[in-house]
Chain A
Amino acid sequence: MNALASKRYAMEDPAAIQEFFHGRGWTDGLPVVPPTPDAVRACLEGALLEPAHLVGVEPVRGRAITAEKLAVNAVMAGCLPAHFPVVVAAFTAMLREPFLLHGATASTGGCAILLVVNGPIRRELGMTGTFNALGGADRASAAIGRALRLVLRNLMDVRPGDVDRSTLGHPGKLSYCVAEDEEGTPWLPLADERGAPPHASSVTVMAAGAPRQFMNEWTTRPVEILDTAAAEIRANMRHYSIWPGNYALVLPPQLRAHFDAAGWRKSDVREYVFGQARVRRSEWAGCGKGSVVGDRGEREYAALRTPDDLLVIAAGGPAGGFGAVIPSWYGSKSSAVTLAIGACVDCEA
């Protein structure tokens, strides 16, 4: 492996090292693991990447992202070398043009990067996708999600008040990574449905708002469960953004059991929600936005451009009829991107 190019610092006192990182705005407010050359090399070797390997170029600011710099931030976030390929794939996906990384991370809208992991690597890394699925369910999920945030902070200047102009943001900006509970469902994994090679380890990234949790434990009928989810989407359309784009729908085992019993697939879920998640502009009048209804009160707005805009994710602990709707940052300005881990971007047709 070629030499690491990053500037080096030397310090012995652990507390002083933490203050050094805090003082320069290099952390998210939490302590970091000092990115030693050995730890960074271990990440790169594990992923078979040279330090200068170009992961991609951020299209708006033209900033080149190297594997070495990703590894430095991944180590800081607490990633093990085995976690690093997921970080590389996720950031590669984020650099794709449809994701509109700069807009999504600079916007006052304050979204976070939701990362969904599929495939065998979940098991290898101990990613569970069950209990506390959206709240840092396991070490790998917490560290990988945090790594993306530190990369944005240190390589794209996405610090609060700098490039990050979020009015509020949300807690997912610290870490927002979930593995799909593939073992707990007969459904196809999210990435497979979105065109990744079958059974490959893959990532899906989405510029996402905070989860909106809903509950319906009083029915076994899939349509009624989805009526609750669609109502939550409609609430988001009335209270936040009416524009169509990606939404994620997280369904836990207790609710999924009813879909399995009724023979519903993910595609059935998407089709039903597509039909139900619609509002009329006049509904804004009932929630304080009457001034922008104008003369288009009867115009109907769909939450999804097509059923495929809905990312259906099987995740959550075994008990509880709690699902979640995760809205996009702002309609279709940013589109979710799915990418196989280890995919050779240069090799693509």
Chain B
Amino acid sequence: MSQMSETLTQLEKYAEEAGTKITPLRKNESLVEVVQDRLEPFLGHLVNDLQIRHLMTITGLDLGQNLGITYEFFKERDTIHVRLLVPKTKPQAASIVNIVPGAILYEMELQDMFGIEFIGNPWKDHKLLLPDEWPADLPPPLLKTTKADQIRRRLGLEAAKP
């Protein structure tokens, strides 16, 4: 991208404050990696000062040693991915429902699918997508180490045709 939009130029300032920089990806997308303790002020700037209010979703990634939590924001042609890395040994993150109330269901989904605990989410003890009888010793489904056969066997479902 040769020319950054006004939003992104202003965003660079806040990224510097948070000790990180913006990596432009293809076609109007940019990636910002933030650490946990700088995340809330950074998102506060995004929502209140730059009026980037629309959170599209929160994506979870299995990156080997860490789990990536990507908050996808959108405003006027710019898609901004804000990525937070949490270690697999301690998968906890602070919830952002007091900044963006619409994030509540997305955080519940990540809890079910990746096992990340969002501290501060009001519905964090409820399951969203998984059945109530999900065995407690079965790891969360979307991790690379959980195999589909494992899930089928534990839940008592028939094996699908190969």
Is B a genuine binding partner of A? no
Q: Which residues of A contact B (CB under 8 A)?
A: none
Which B positions have Cβ atoms within 8 angstroms of A?
none
